[in-house]
Amino acid sequence: MLPAFSATSHTETAKRLARKVSAFVETEIIPNEPLLAQQGERSLRLQSDLAYKARQAGLYGLFYPLSHGGKIASLEDYLLVAEQEGRTEFSQAIFASHTALDAHMLLKFGNEAIHEQFLQPMVSGDALPCYGMTEPGHSGSIPSLITTTAYLSNGYWYIDGRKWFISNADRATFMTVLARTAGKETALNQALSMIIVPAGTPGFKIERQLTMMGHSYGQGEVSLTAVQVPEHYLIGTCGGGLDLMNKRLGLGRLLRAMNWIGLAQRCMDLMGARIHSIRGKFSRLAEKQLVRQHIFNTYQAIAGARELIRIAARSVDAQNPDEIAINAAKMAASHALCIASDCAMQLYGAEGLSDLTPLYGINRIARTSRILDGNDESLISSVGRRLINHYQHHAVYSFD
């Protein structure tokens, strides 16, 4: 879904931007993490101020489409930048990396009215998207269970249903809703559609905020009761929602995975700092075999995941997304973050369990990574099935 590109045309730009993002993260965001973590009015104001600084520094929306202010065309190149953005859990809103997915989806599949009313305000920082797929009572990874319905009458969509675990639900100005637009007798690949619903529409209600592991990540539950929106708020084609959902999931998984690798490397760097600190030298951490194993395991997991992400990103850049590679990369990045955060917490001991380091917050994100955007079990089953099916027709699986 990204434009074709030359394999070397943007690499130097990506390296330069990665260095600038790294410096911004280290000097502007990481020192402010304790305040950003408080999640109050002061935190939101600080986040807004930092986003303004990032925009002034030319670091805002780097993976937006080139036609809308983006500076990196290739997903493979963006890996260099995304992992630097990902070194802090607070960077997504500050750099607008969390809205890049919506920007690409709206540009490619939205009509001119959607571009004008939703895409342009979003890239200008005047609108914020959210995505309603998962529903209470069943797994969001099983689209056949979607019960939210939408029907067309006299030029308007009428939508009823409920969605939950929606990121940015409390602050979003519009939601992309996945709804059933045909009966259950219709094949699933023709039964679902994506429709934009502005947050202020009558019948759109935020029912409650949801926490994960005792922490708020801006997740919420939303009800849609006789919501009415114009016909042209449809994204793509009527009945094409399943295909759009898969495209969105594929790119979304890679973007998250890139950020997780940045967090994992942050943990590895914290391990190195601990080992060579006064306390670490006193405890002779550098001489302990298990400490060496911790840092080796972390390095191996990060290096492997980065290469899997790179392979998957190339398939997306070539406009031939490889779902096996994408899902394997997502799980590898999650695994790397889990290993890195756990090993770092072991080296920091009780301090790593407290608010004195960022490790507890990172560890919480690591655990959620095994569920968000597709739980491990579902993805393993999907990849395993595809690999087994491959051997029905081929004697060899080519990794090239």
> What was the pLDDT predicted at 81?
97
Query: Which CATH number covers residue 205?
Result: 2.40.110.10
Alpha-carbon span 277 to 383, nearest angstrom: 43
**What one-character DSSP code corresponds to residue 237?**
-
* pLDDT tens for each residue of 44-79: 899 999 999 999 999 999 999 999 999 999 999 999
- Out of 235, 259, 287, a domain closes at 235
Place 1 in a pLDDT band, splitting at 50, 70 and 90: very low
Residue 61 and residue 101 in contact, taking contact as beta carbons nearer than 8 Å: no
Q: Helices 323-348 & 359-368, crossing angle to 10 degrees?
A: 150
Same domain, 71 and 94: yes
Record the pTM. 0.92
> What was the pLDDT predicted at 213?
74
* 157: β partners: 152, 229
Residue 4 has pLDDT above 50, yes or no: no
Same domain, 385 and 247: yes
* 222: β partners: 163, 206
**More confidently predicted of 74 and 3:** 74
In this prediction, residues 315-340 reach a mean pLDDT of 96
* pLDDT tens for each residue of 19-51: 999 999 999 999 999 999 887 789 989 999 999
> What was the pLDDT predicted at 141?
62
Same domain, 140 and 214: yes
Domain that holds residue 43: 11-110
Residue owning tokens 């489409």: 65
Query: Which CATH number covers residue 50?
Result: 1.10.540.10
How many residues are listed for the chain in this entry? 400
Alpha-carbon span 192 to 197, nearest angstrom: 16
- Out of 206, 235, 264, a domain closes at 235
The DSSP string of 129-156 is EEEE---TTS-TT-GGG---EEEEETTE
Indicate the number of domains in the chain: 3
Residue 121 within any structural domain of the chain: no
> What was the pLDDT predicted at 7?
44
Query: Which CATH number covers residue 277?
Result: 1.20.140.10
Same domain, 21 and 59: yes
* pLDDT tens for each residue of 123-140: 999 999 999 999 998 766
- Out of 235, 267, 301, a domain closes at 235
> What was the pLDDT predicted at 305?
97
Residue 10 has pLDDT above 90, yes or no: no
